[in-house]
Amino acid sequence: MRIVVLVKQVPDMERVKFDCEAGRVDRSSAGTEINPFDLNALEAAVSIQEQLGGKIITLSMGPAAAEDALKDTIARGADESVLLSDRRFGGADVKATAKTIAAAIKKLGGADLIFAGIQTVDGDTGQVGPETAGYLDIPHISNVDFISAYSETDITVVSNVMEGSYVKKSSYPVLITVTKDINQPRLPSMKRKLSARKAHIPVWGYEELQDYIREDEIGLQGSATKVKRIEVPPAVTRKGQVWRENVEEAIDGLVEVLKKAKVLEV
Amino acid sequence: MKMTEKDCKGILVFAEQKKERIHRVSYELLGKGKELAAQLDCPLCSVVLGPPDMDVAELIYRGADIVYHITDPMAFAAPDEVLYEQNLVRLIRDVKPEICLFGATNFGRSLAPRVAAKLGAGLTADCTHLAIDQGQLVQIRPAFSENILAHIQSTAYPQMATVRYKEFNEAPRDTNRKGQIKAMEAYVSDNSPVKILEEIVKEDFDIADANVVVAAGAGVKAKEDLKMLQELAELLGGKLGASRAAVEAGLIAKDHQVGYSGNRVKPSIYIACGISGAPQHIAGMKESGIIIAINSDPSAPILNIADYAIVGNLYEIIPKMIRKLKNMKS
Ligand SMILES: Cc1cc2nc3c(=O)[nH]c(=O)nc-3n(C[C@H](O)[C@H](O)[C@H](O)COP(=O)(O)OP(=O)(O)OC[C@H]3O[C@@H](n4cnc5c(N)ncnc54)[C@H](O)[C@@H]3O)c2cc1C
Ligand SMILES: Cc1cc2nc3c(=O)[nH]c(=O)nc-3n(C[C@H](O)[C@H](O)[C@H](O)COP(=O)(O)OP(=O)(O)OC[C@H]3O[C@@H](n4cnc5c(N)ncnc54)[C@H](O)[C@@H]3O)c2cc1C
């Protein structure tokens, strides 16, 4: 059983600053963390491995600094990690990202199960999982918040699509995207943290993947969308009336607001 | 085989159906699609996958010039992304549209990227605006947890996007409109590697269409206390919402969650009761008409984005409000 978990390092959204005037995101303003949904993806893999054994490999495409995120995944239960990092991977959109990840999975010899987060908190497209499955030519099941059963050959999950919850069963290989509701990620133990620090994370650049992908399929060149401009909309200013002491007065005030908004006639 | 600008013409809107009912986002896409088609001077087409006897004329009434009806008695009754993808890719290769739009529903967000990958096309996620600039589609979408708007263009054909529900007006309905319905048997209708065993039937609740939302946070201590919030919501013709903390505490079902990993809502009135105002919560409700906050902590961030706020104990304030509203009604 080989399980691959896709993880992305993202800026800490509580701290990142947005420059309205220049229309840019100042990534240096914040630390980084593992995309929160990817911790749920990893936890799902770890809980399956506890029952079935096998190996968990975490995979991330990003700058050299993403090594930290991968070490953290080892502390949290991954057996191995691979970092996909190369200047030529830079500027990738989802298409180029998914193709590069698919190439790396092929180089690993494929996977039975692939877990990804439902979306990231930065790029936030939610497309990398399904597109990776598309490029690998394997099925995917998205928006999964419950794993009902699994075995050496197949997995049954609950997928929330089309305003419903559907129980879906797939044989391997399959890619699954998970929500925050699927589990509660455990914290790494002190012991694992220490050994993760010493872990060696192999870095694969284009050279390592060239049997599986062409150079014009990666990075900016391999992308099919371009971000032309970023706009940081100013925060909407709200009326900002606050009542503090007198509850009666506050309620009278609110009722006036509700009357004006015409929601009292129902 | 790559599609180029020269071969591609027309706009194709994917119409999502469940039990033969078409999702309303499809009508919104037809409304916007009509505008774009007028600017590009090209036809507006729609594709729907469903049983052969499904009535698809509604898509013509809503502005489609051609409706491609891919039929199979069973295959499209459940959301099977692989079957949908295989059929759509075949159709798109035949029709060669320059623009392809999907609703950014859970299913659209799962299906469109598979289709894009098979076509080798780009895909812009979750758009809130679309425009034409020099014959090219400009796609505008929020990113970074709703903090920025990115302007995106595709560099391959077809130009594909998923578009958020409730951003555009529905196309008006004109039952005299004429168009062409092209029914065709599904290219592929079985052998999907994913088996859909059952649909879990749940309470039919959709918070996205509420005009008033009364939302409970961790400040609401017990399940039975929700009754007073429910009563307030009913008096205002609204529905109950919740923060993630309230859902996690088991107060209320996940369908009620508002926020980044829950539902996005845009009611006329949003009343946040005992909700601190974490960025992930605000991401789901900041476009509400009027925001009202009830919170005992004068430094709670929700107060910064509220139009009206009462600093105080919700257990005192809400019953008093209910009494006042009831007195007014009688
Ligand atoms: C403002 C902005 C808007 C953008 N809009 C678009 C757009 O509309 N269309 C488009 O094609 N590109 C877009 N991009 C580029 C896109 O964000 C990047 O390609 C990014 O590498 C992957 O997309 P994501 O962050 O949206 O991931 P998502 O698709 O949201 O991620 C889902 C899951 O995939 C996995 N995953 C994602 N990225 C990686 C990675 N690098 N390594 C390993 N696993 C990963 C994780 O498990 C993650 O939880 C945009 C970029 C910016 C800055
Ligand atoms: C990736 C990710 C996604 C997330 N997605 C979502 C999401 O979709 N939706 C969401 O809501 N959260 C989401 N969260 C969680 C979010 O960060 C907050 O933890 C959550 O919103 C807090 O809920 P809360 O405001 O109800 O609780 P708290 O932050 O605990 O706030 C409770 C508030 O109640 C007030 N209060 C207490 N008692 C009373 C009283 N008697 N009267 C009046 N006020 C009182 C307190 O002053 C406090 O302000 C997400 C987090 C992450 C990391």
CATH code: domain of residue A176? 3.40.50.620
Mutate one of B106, B140, B324 to test the A interface: name it (highest A CB count within 10 A).
Answer: B106
Q: Report chain A (266 residues): mean pLDDT per 10 consecutive residues.
A: 97 77 70 94 98 98 96 97 97 97 98 97 94 98 98 97 95 97 94 94 98 97 94 81 90 93 78
B15 touches chain A (CB under 8 A): no
Check whether residue B130 and residue B246 sit in a common domain.
no
Mutate one of A214, A238, A246, A257 to test the B interface: name it (highest B CB count within 10 A).
Answer: A238
The predicted pLDDT at position A79 comes to 97
Check whether residue B64 and residue B176 sit in a common domain.
yes
CA distances in angstroms from B4 to A95, A224, B7, B121, listed in the order given:
17, 12, 6, 11
Q: The domain spanning residue B250 has which CATH number?
A: 3.40.50.1220
Neighbouring C-beta atoms of residue B77, cutoff 10 Å? 17
Is the minimum distance from the CB of A97 to ligand 1 under 6 angstroms? yes
Taking one residue from A and the other from B, the number of pairs with CB-CB distance under 8 angstroms is 272
- Annotate chain B with three-state secondary structure: CCCCHHHCCCEEEEECEECCEECHHHHHHHHHHHHHHHHHCCCEEEEEEECCCCCCHHHHHCCCCEEEEEECCCCCCCCCHHHHHHHHHHHHHHHCCCEEEEECCHHHHHHHHHHHHHHCCCEEEEECEEEEECCEEEEEEEECCCCEEEEEEECCCCEEEEECCCCCCCCCCCCCCCCEEEEEECCCCCCCCEEEEEEECCCCCCHHHCCEEEEECCCCCCHHHHHHHHHHHHHCCCEEEECHHHHHCCCCCHHHEECCCCECCCCCEEEEECCCCCHHHHCCCCCCCEEEEEECCCCCHHHHHCCEEEECCHHHHHHHHHHHHHHHHC
| DSSP structural state of residue A264 | S
What gap in Å lies between CA B77 and CA B80, rounded to an integer?
9
Q: What is the pLDDT of residues B57-105, one digit of tens each?
A: 999 999 999 999 999 999 999 999 999 999 999 999 999 999 999 999 9
**CA B218 to ligand 2 center in whole angstroms:** 6
Assigned token pair, B205 = 């609740």
Residue ranges of A 29-58 with Cβ closer than 8 A to chain B: none
User: Residue B183 region, left (φ>0) first, then alpha (ψ -120 to 50), else beta?
Assistant: beta
In a domain, A153, yes or no: yes
Task: List chain A residues with CB under 8 Å of B116.
Answer: 95, 127, 131, 134
Sequential pLDDT tens for chain B (330 residues): 566 766 789 999 999 999 999 999 999 999 999 999 999 999 999 999 999 999 999 999 999 999 999 999 999 999 999 999 999 999 999 999 999 999 999 999 999 999 999 999 999 999 999 999 999 999 999 988 788 899 999 999 999 999 999 899 999 999 999 999 999 999 999 888 999 999 998 777 889 889 999 999 999 999 999 999 999 999 999 999 999 999 999 999 999 999 999 999 999 999 999 999 999 999 999 999 999 999 999 999 999 999 999 999 999 999 999 999 999 888
The predicted pLDDT at position A22 comes to 65
In a domain, A84, yes or no: yes
Check whether residue B18 and residue B164 sit in a common domain.
yes
Check whether residue B162 and residue B264 sit in a common domain.
no
**CA A249 to ligand 1 center in whole angstroms:** 49
What gap in Å lies between CA B21 and CA A43, rounded to an integer?
37
What gap in Å lies between CA A140 and CA B257, rounded to an integer?
25
E strand or H helix at A257:
helix A247-260
Considering its fold, how many domains does chain A have in total? 1
Check whether residue B148 and residue B225 sit in a common domain.
no
From A188, A232, A190, select the one nearest A34 (Cα to Cα).
Answer: A188
Contact B9, B98 (CB under 8 A): yes
**What ipTM was reported for this prediction?**
0.93
Domain membership of residue A194 as a residue range: 2-217
Considering its fold, how many domains does chain B have in total? 2
What gap in Å lies between CA A141 and CA A174, rounded to an integer?
8
CA-nearest residue, atom 39 of ligand 2: B219
Check whether residue B28 and residue B96 sit in a common domain.
yes
The predicted pLDDT at position B209 comes to 84
**CA A119 to ligand 1 center in whole angstroms:** 8
SS3 A42: helix
Cα-only R_g, chain B: 23
**CA B217 to ligand 2 center in whole angstroms:** 6
The predicted pLDDT at position A29 comes to 72
**CA A252 to ligand 1 center in whole angstroms:** 48
Contact A219, A96 (CB under 8 A): yes
In a domain, B219, yes or no: yes
In a domain, A266, yes or no: no
Which of B150, B185, B220 represents a domain boundary (last residue)? B185
**CA B310 to ligand 2 center in whole angstroms:** 17
In a domain, B45, yes or no: yes
Domain membership of residue B20 as a residue range: 5-185
Neighbouring C-beta atoms of residue A53, cutoff 10 Å? 9
Nearest-Cα distance to chain B for A51, in Å, is 23
Check whether residue B103 and residue B237 sit in a common domain.
no
Check whether residue B103 and residue B225 sit in a common domain.
no
Is the minimum distance from the CB of B274 to ligand 2 under 6 angstroms? yes
What gap in Å lies between CA B136 and CA B134, rounded to an integer?
5
What gap in Å lies between CA A182 and CA A250, rounded to an integer?
41
Residue ranges of B 16-45 with Cβ closer than 8 A to chain A: 16, 18
Task: Name the residue in chain A with its Cα closest to that of B202.
Answer: A164
From B278, B132, B294, select the one nearest B215 (Cα to Cα).
Answer: B294
What gap in Å lies between CA A242 and CA B308, rounded to an integer?
6
Assigned token pair, B39 = 């600017």
**CA B226 to ligand 1 center in whole angstroms:** 38
CA distances in angstroms from B57 to A44, A136, B66, B171, B178, listed in the order given:
45, 37, 10, 14, 9
CB contact under 8 Å between B155 and A14, yes or no, is: no
In a domain, A61, yes or no: yes
In a domain, B30, yes or no: yes
Task: Name the residue in chain B with its Cα closest to that of A145.
Answer: B254
Check whether residue B30 and residue B179 sit in a common domain.
yes
Buried b vs exposed e over B308-323: b needs ≥16 C-beta within 10 Å? bbbbbebeebbeebbe
In a domain, B213, yes or no: yes
Residue ranges of A 122-161 with Cβ closer than 8 A to chain B: 122-127, 129-135, 138-143, 145, 156, 158-161
What gap in Å lies between CA B13 and CA B170, rounded to an integer?
13
Nearest-Cα distance to chain A for B176, in Å, is 30
**How many degrees, rounded to 5, is the angle at CA B246 between CA B243 and CA B247?**
90
Q: Strand A17-19 to strand A24-26: parallel, antiparallel, or no bridges (unpaired)? A: antiparallel
In a domain, A242, yes or no: no
Check whether residue B213 and residue B126 sit in a common domain.
no
Nearest-Cα distance to chain B for A199, in Å, is 31
User: Residue A216 region, left (φ>0) first, then alpha (ψ -120 to 50), else beta?
Assistant: alpha
Is the minimum distance from the CB of B300 to ligand 2 under 6 angstroms? yes
Torsion of CA B75, B165, B162, A220, to 10 degrees: -150
Check whether residue B160 and residue B66 sit in a common domain.
yes
Q: What is the pLDDT of residues B232-273, one digit of tens each?
A: 999 999 999 999 999 999 999 999 999 999 999 999 999 999
E strand or H helix at A99:
helix A94-107
In a domain, A128, yes or no: yes
* Closest atom, ligand 2, to C-alpha of B279: 17
Is the minimum distance from the CB of A63 to ligand 1 under 6 angstroms? no
Task: List chain A residues with CB under 8 Å of B157.
Answer: none
* Closest atom, ligand 1, to C-alpha of B124: 8
Residue ranges of B 245-264 with Cβ closer than 8 A to chain A: 254, 260-261
CB contact under 8 Å between A261 and B269, yes or no, is: yes
Check whether residue B111 and residue B220 sit in a common domain.
no
Residue ranges of A 51-110 with Cβ closer than 8 A to chain B: 93-95, 98
The predicted pLDDT at position B2 comes to 64
Please tell me the pTM assigned to this model. Answer: 0.92
